């Protein structure tokens, strides 16, 4: 049996510039971090006496003998790609709900690929794990995804990830322990209560890129540069204010990014004391991240007592095997 543990991510600045439709023509970069919330995947060989060859356990349970009859598309495609002939049982559990803007789809692909590769005695390096995951999502599963989620899940940590010509570089962000401590103390997630599928939102965004409507992305990239300066100067509150600016710009990428409920939650968060925040992921639902200083938290929690609030901390580790037994 193998168990992998793969972190979810939060994207602070630069989201949207990680799509090859953009950065292959221009340039892209993001500032993001993995957090202390994880997706767990366990894989074990099924003994021959079971009537089925594959048992897939997530929100439903699938028992099938033919790989092509597996309904979970990511599992089906990764099993086909891995060419493992033995029967397998695969379980998936996560600390956060799927389709919530935390990069869970890519996180799943990275974690399962890590497990299946390990079963074949292939210990992939972070870069290979990220590149293969990107290839699988875009060219095998035909998902309209960017590059940042897979890279974040594979590498882990608080990073500046740069994209150009179908390649990427990961630069670990150097900052003071106080800066990280303040982020860990002041970042909160508020769940909108609505899961979303990113495909429609991403399509309208990519369509805009194909029409050379690039001013919004250029402004978003300027925020990445500004964030680097803020981190170097250790002005943590300015980091929170900049999140507000990047959210206002993100809203302009597609009419489907936000809705009345998201706008209500965001405005309520600012009125409750948050310096800034943003909706995570492509848009339409999931989690809104807020930067809330310690002296404002009691009022914030009071005003959001009907919502699920998730405190988070940044994490340093990428996808890893936490249990292995032959």
Domain ranges of the chain: 2-173+315-324, 177-314
Under a CB-based contact definition with an 8 Å cutoff, are residues 34 and 312 in contact? Answer: no
Average pLDDT over residues 140-151: 94
Q: What fold, for 2-173+315-324?
A: Ribosomal Protein S5; domain 2 (3.30.230)
**Local confidence band at 212 (pLDDT 50, 70, 90 cut-offs):** very low
Residue 72 contacts by C-beta under 8 Å, 6 or more apart in sequence? 56, 58, 62
pTM score: 0.94
What does the pLDDT look like over 104-129, one tens digit per residue? 999 999 999 999 999 999 999 999 99
Check pLDDT > 70 for residue 209: no
- When pLDDT is averaged across residues 157-177 and rounded to a whole number, the result is 96
Nearest to 103 by CA among 281, 319, 229: 281
Q: What is the percent of the chain where pLDDT is above 70? A: 94
- Closest to 12 measured CA to CA, from 316, 276, 326, 304: 276
Q: Please give the structure tokens belonging to residue 279.
A: 């909706």
**Four-way CATH pick for 177-314: 3.50.50.60, 3.40.50.2300, 3.30.70.890, 3.40.50.300:** 3.30.70.890
What is the model's pLDDT at position 283? 73
Q: What is the pLDDT of residues 215-258, one digit of tens each?
A: 888 889 999 999 999 999 999 999 999 999 999 888 877 777 88
- Asked if the domains 2-173+315-324 and 177-314 are classified in one and the same CATH topology, the answer is no
Nearest Cα to Cα of residue 314 among 223, 179, 142 = 179
User: Could you report the per-residue pLDDT of 260-273, keeping only the tens digit for each?
Assistant: 999 999 999 999 99
pLDDT of residue 324: 95
Rg of the chain in Å (alpha carbons): 20
Among 57, 52, 53, smallest CA distance to 42 is for 57
In angstroms, rounded to a whole number, what is the distance separating the alpha carbons of residues 138 and 109? 11
According to DSSP, residue 321 is labeled: E
């Amino acid at each position: 049996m193998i168990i992998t543990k793969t972190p979810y991510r939060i994207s602070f600045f630069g989201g949207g510039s990680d799509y090859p439709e953009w950065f292959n023509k221009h340039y892209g970069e993001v500032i993001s971090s993995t957090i202390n919330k994880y997706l767990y995947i366990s894989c074990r060989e099924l003994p021959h006496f079971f009537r089925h060859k594959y048992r897939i356990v997530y929100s439903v349970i699938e028992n099938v003998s033919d790989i092509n009859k597996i309904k979970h598309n990511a599992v089906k495609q990764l099993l086909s790609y891995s060419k493992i002939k033995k029967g397998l049982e695969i379980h998936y559990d996560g600390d956060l709900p799927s389709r919530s803007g935390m990069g869970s789809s890519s996180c799943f692909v990275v974690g399962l690929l890590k497990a299946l590769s390990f079963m074949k005695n292939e210990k992939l390096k972070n870069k290979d794990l990220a590149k293969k995951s990107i290839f699988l999502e875009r060219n095998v599963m035909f998902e309209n995804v960017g590059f940042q989620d897979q890279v974040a899940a594979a590498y882990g940590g608080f990073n500046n990830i740069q994209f150009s010509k179908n390649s990427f570089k990961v630069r670990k962000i150097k900052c003071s322990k106080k800066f990280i401590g303040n982020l860990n103390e002041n970042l909160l997630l508020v769940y909108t209560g609505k899961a979303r599928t990113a495909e429609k939102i991403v399509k309208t965004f990519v369509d805009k890129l194909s029409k050379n409507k690039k001013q919004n992305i250029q402004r978003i990239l300027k925020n990445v540069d500004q964030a680097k300066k803020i981190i170097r100067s250790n002005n943590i509150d300015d980091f929170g204010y900049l999140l507000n600016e990047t959210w206002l710009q993100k809203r302009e990428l597609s009419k489907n990014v936000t809705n009345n409920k998201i706008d209500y939650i965001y405005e309520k968060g600012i009125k409750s004391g948050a310096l800034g925040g943003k909706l995570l992921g492509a848009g339409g639902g999931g989690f809104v991240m807020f930067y809330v200083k310690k002296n404002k938290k009691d009022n914030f929690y009071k005003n959001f007592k009907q919502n699920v609030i998730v405190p988070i901390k940044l994490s340093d580790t990428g996808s890893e095997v936490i249990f292995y037994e032959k």
